[in-house]
């Protein structure tokens, strides 16, 4: 978990070992106490935990290294574009992800062991906004003549289209909604995702060419599945989850003013809902529930609304729109209830704090037990009780019930798929099954990605789409599916970097090459081992004492107070300047990869570790070891901040 906010103001100290950790655990380790060892250093590339925690598998360390200036761009390319290319190798939406991703990468960041995580989101937002401002484009691969149907134009569908076009396959996107974007457009408010930025990142994919878009078309209703199977070489299902789960209390489905969070946000994002109920209660605790209550506080209410102007009518009927007099609006009373304490809610901590600042009342560790209704069957309140967890399930605590008055009750406790017309694909839970390669089991030509497998994060859907695109590519080329690596992310590729720098190893010819000694041969990358596909480097493999206390460069946020929130739809998160993005990127500890600090060169007592000549050096090949001088003292490994040097050569 990330360091708690209340500790951020303290200047922390760091110790190499915890109390009692002053003895070696094994005889092998005791060898290192001596002045010399039979082991010599080698350079081991591992995956950093930020990248290992990223569901879309971005090379986060890589693009942070580019922004900080440590990894140099390819010839003829400036830093911002180079960082954009590296970032979008995995995820084509940096401007979106930098704003709304809950950033599991930051929870995993090893810098939390020093003082505070690196602001990965903020730098990614800078990369995305810079790309849009400079009109950076994507390039499609050479055309293969193959055509893929993509059902759904949300994050998974559009990411799948992007990855497939990079491989040269033509795509047709079938989207049931009037516009592309999926939950990024219809599920997240505009003050969190600016619609111009979303449109720009969508259009960039369409501009790759051979991307045909058909909006307002529902497959299974307007287009039969067998027609797709005849016209296309493969089908990728990325239809998302558009139905919300109701509360598990009696009468939920029959009560007119009880709605789902998904439908509530869709009505707002379509511009049809312009005012909410006077007293709104939302049950949840995740990101969707926070969006519901934040929208409600911004919309406000107009007391006395009846008939089709009531908010639930707008939510339940796509043809209904409100017409309101903004001058008549008042602040709505908005309450959020959660099963868990505020500190354990699944919503991001800063989102919870923002909601509190905006005037939302949050009741935690409570559960709904009943709906109170009037003689017309409308809900007038939600009865809740304190709860305790027994066997992973909430149980009401006797004698703790209370009634919250409500004109509208919103459930934001989970989502499901709408598979009407697609019943043959329903796994019985309103979702679709997938194998490890994101192919629909027992369905040739059919692949799947995103929430319709299991509702999760936007970045999860994007990561699944990238793997599905690989699988589709192998299917179209009649190749066996390759086993996915243990750490299945987009890794830094040293060989590709060497080629880019004009330093690629020479071709190896077994018959013509003298194999009696290879120490100085140029057909191999010496003393380097890539374990990134199998290992994530933990903080205890780094020399954390190298890193000084450096406060995070934080983005400015426009979070209104309870008095200011009504009608406040300005973008919440303000981006970093270029100077700030560079400064924050420099806080990255480059876990598992050399970041050219020179510690090993400076501290080697034998001058065995040396800088690779500039005309032969590039990222990952900055230092090398003269093994004729090395005595195995392990000092270089001890002082390597990134854990890139390991004492293993000779084993």
**What is the tens place of the pLDDT at every residue in 577-611?**
999 999 999 999 999 999 999 999 999 999 999 99
Would you say residue 10 has pLDDT above 70? Answer: no
Lowest mean pLDDT among 160-169, 276-285, 631-640: 631-640
Distance CA 39, CA 630 (A): 9
Percent of the chain residues topping a pLDDT of 90:
81
Tell me if 644 sits within 8 A of 594, measured CB to CB: yes
The H or E element containing residue 647 is: strand 645-649
The encoded tokens of residue 156 equal 């998974």
Q: Is 256's pLDDT higher than 60?
A: yes
**CA–CA distances in Å: residue 15 to residues 114, 360, 543:** 10, 41, 10
Query: Contact, 176 vs 213, CB < 8 A?
Result: no
Question: What is the radius of gyration, based on Cα positions, of the chain?
Answer: 28
Name the helix (H) or strand (E) containing 63. helix 60-68
The pTM is what? 0.91
Question: Where is average pLDDT lowest: 54-58, 436-440, 630-634?
Answer: 630-634
Percent of the chain topping pLDDT 70: 91
Q: Is the pLDDT of residue 108 over 90?
A: yes
Distance CA 106, CA 64 (A): 13
Residue 261 contacts residue 289 (beta carbons within 8 Å) = yes
Mean pLDDT within 534-551 = 95
In this structure, the chain runs to a length of 651
Which letter, b or e, does each residue of 544-554 get, where b requires 16 or more Cβ atoms within 10 Å of its Cβ? beebeeeebbe
Residue 546 and residue 542: Cα distance in Å, rounded?
9
Judging by beta carbons within 10 Å of its beta carbon (0-12, 13-18, 19+), is residue 194 exposed, middle or buried? middle
Q: How far apart are CA 192 and CA 562, in angstroms?
A: 18
The predicted structure's pLDDT at residue 523? 74
Cα separation of 192 and 198, whole Å?
A: 11
First vs last C-alpha separation in the chain: 36
Q: What CATH superfamily classification does 147-242+417-476 receive?
A: FAD/NAD(P)-binding domain (3.50.50.60)
Q: Is 69 left (phi over 0), alpha (psi -120 to 50) or beta?
A: left
- Give the start-end residues of each E strand in 526-627: 528-530, 609-611, 623-625
Side by side, which strands form the sheet with 147-151? 211-215, 170-175, 147-151, 234-237, 446-448
Average confidence (pLDDT) over 147-172: 98
Res 300: pLDDT: 95
Specify the CATH number of the domain 244-407.
Answer: 3.50.50.60
Q: Which of residues 503 and 290 earns the better pLDDT score? A: 290
Which pairs with CB-CB distance under 8 Å and at least 24 residues apart come from 563-570? 563/359, 565/297, 565/298, 565/331, 565/358, 565/359, 566/297, 566/298, 566/300, 566/329, 566/330, 566/331, 567/298, 567/300, 567/326, 567/329, 568/191, 568/298, 569/189, 569/190, 569/191, 569/298, 570/191
Cα→Cα distances 500→76, 506, 522, Å: 12, 14, 17
Residue 308: pLDDT above 60?
no
Give me the helix-helix angle, 120-133 and 578-585, nearest 10°: 140
All structural domains of the chain with their residue ranges: 5-135+491-649, 147-242+417-476, 244-407
- Give the pLDDT band of residue 519 (cuts 50, 70, 90): low
CB 528 within 8 A of CB 621: yes
- Tokens 């903080």 found at: 539
Beta bridge partners of 235: 149, 446
| Closest by CA position to 335, among listed 412, 414, 247, 406 | 406
Range in 13-27, 404-418, 450-464, 614-628 with the lowest mean pLDDT:
13-27
Q: What is the mean pLDDT of the chain?
A: 91
Maximum distance among all alpha carbons in the chain? 94
The answer on pLDDT for 298 being more than 50 is: yes
Collect all residues with Cβ–Cβ distance below 8 Å to 276 and sequence separation of at least 6: 295, 296, 299, 300, 301, 311, 332, 408
Q: pLDDT higher for 46 or 306?
A: 46
CB 53 within 8 A of CB 104: yes
Is pLDDT at 114 greater than 80 in this prediction? yes
């Amino acid at each position: 978990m990330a360091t708690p906010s209340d500790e951020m103001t303290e200047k922390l100290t760091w110790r190499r070992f915890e109390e009692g950790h002053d003895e070696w655990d094994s005889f092998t380790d005791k060898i290192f106490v001596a002045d010399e060892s039979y082991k010599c250093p080698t350079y081991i590339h591992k995956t950093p935990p930020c990248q290992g925690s990223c569901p879309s598998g971005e090379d986060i360390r890589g693009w942070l290294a580019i922004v900080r200036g440590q990894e140099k761009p390819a010839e003829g390319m400036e830093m911002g574009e180079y960082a954009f290319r590296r970032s979008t190798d995995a995820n084509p939406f940096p401007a979106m992800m930098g704003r709304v991703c809950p950033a599991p990468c930051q929870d995993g960041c090893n810098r939390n062991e020093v003082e505070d995580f690196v602001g990965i989101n903020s730098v990614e937002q800078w990369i995305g906004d810079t790309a849009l401002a400079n009109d950076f484009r994507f390039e499609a691969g050479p055309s293969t003549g193959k055509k893929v149907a993509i059902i759904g134009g949300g994050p998974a569908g559009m990411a799948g289209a992007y990855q497939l076009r990079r491989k040269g396959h033509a795509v047709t996107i079938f989207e049931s909604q009037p516009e592309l974007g999926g939950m990024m457009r219809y599920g997240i408010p505009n003050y969190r995702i600016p619609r111009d930025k979303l449109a720009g990142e969508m259009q960039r994919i369409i501009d790759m060419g051979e991307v045909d878009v058909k909006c307002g078309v529902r497959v299974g209703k307007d287009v039969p599945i067998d027609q797709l199977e005849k016209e296309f070489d493969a089908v990728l299902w990325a239809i998302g989850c558009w139905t919300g789960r109701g509360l598990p209390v009696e009468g939920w489905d029959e009560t007119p003013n009880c709605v789902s969070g998904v439908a509530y946000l869709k009505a707002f994002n379509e511009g049809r809902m312009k005012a909410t109920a006077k007293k709104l209660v939302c049950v949840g605790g995740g990101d969707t529930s926070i969006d519901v209550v934040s929208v409600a506080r911004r919309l406000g209410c107009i007391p006395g609304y009846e008939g089709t102007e009531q908010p639930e009518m707008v939510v339940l009927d796509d043809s209904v729109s409100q017409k309101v007099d903004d001058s008549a609006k008042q602040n709505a009373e908005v309450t959020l209830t959660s099963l868990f304490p505020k500190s354990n809610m699944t919503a991001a901590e800063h989102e919870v704090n923002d909601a509190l600042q905006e005037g939302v009342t949050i009741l935690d560790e409570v559960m709904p037990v009943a709906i109170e209704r009037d003689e017309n069957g409308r809900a007038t309140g939600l009865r809740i009780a304190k709860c305790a967890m027994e066997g992973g399930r909430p149980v009401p605590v006797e004698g703790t019930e209370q009634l919250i008055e409500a004109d509208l009750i919103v459930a934001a406790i989970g989502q499901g798929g709408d598979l009407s017309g697609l019943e043959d694909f329903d796994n019985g839970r309103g979702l679709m099954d997938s194998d490890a390669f994101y192919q629909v089991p027992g369905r040739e030509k059919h692949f799947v990605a995103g929430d319709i497998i299991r509702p999760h994060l936007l970045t999860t859907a994007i990561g699944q789409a990238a793997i599905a695109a690989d699988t589709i590519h192998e299917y179209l080329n009649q190749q066996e599916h390759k086993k996915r690596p243990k750490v299945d992310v987009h890794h830094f590729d040293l060989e590709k970097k060497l080629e880019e720098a004009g330093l690629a190893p020479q071709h190896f010819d077994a018959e013509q090459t003298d194999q009696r000694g290879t120490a100085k041969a140029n057909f191999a990358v010496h003393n380097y081992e890539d374990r990134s596909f199998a290992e994530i480097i933990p903080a205890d493999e780094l020399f954390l004492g190298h890193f000084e206390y450096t406060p995070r460069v934080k983005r400015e946020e426009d979070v209104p107070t309870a008095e200011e929130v009504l009608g406040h739809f300005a973008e919440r998160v303000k981006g970093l300047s270029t100077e700030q993005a560079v400064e924050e990127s420099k806080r990255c500890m480059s876990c598992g990869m050399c970041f050219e600090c020179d510690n090993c060169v400076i501290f080697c007592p034998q001058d065995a570790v040396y800088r690779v000549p500039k005309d032969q050096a590039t990222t990952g090949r900055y230092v090398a070891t003269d093994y004729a001088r090395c005595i195995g003292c392990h000092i270089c490994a001890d002082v390597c901040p990134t854990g890139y040097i390991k004492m293993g050569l000779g084993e």
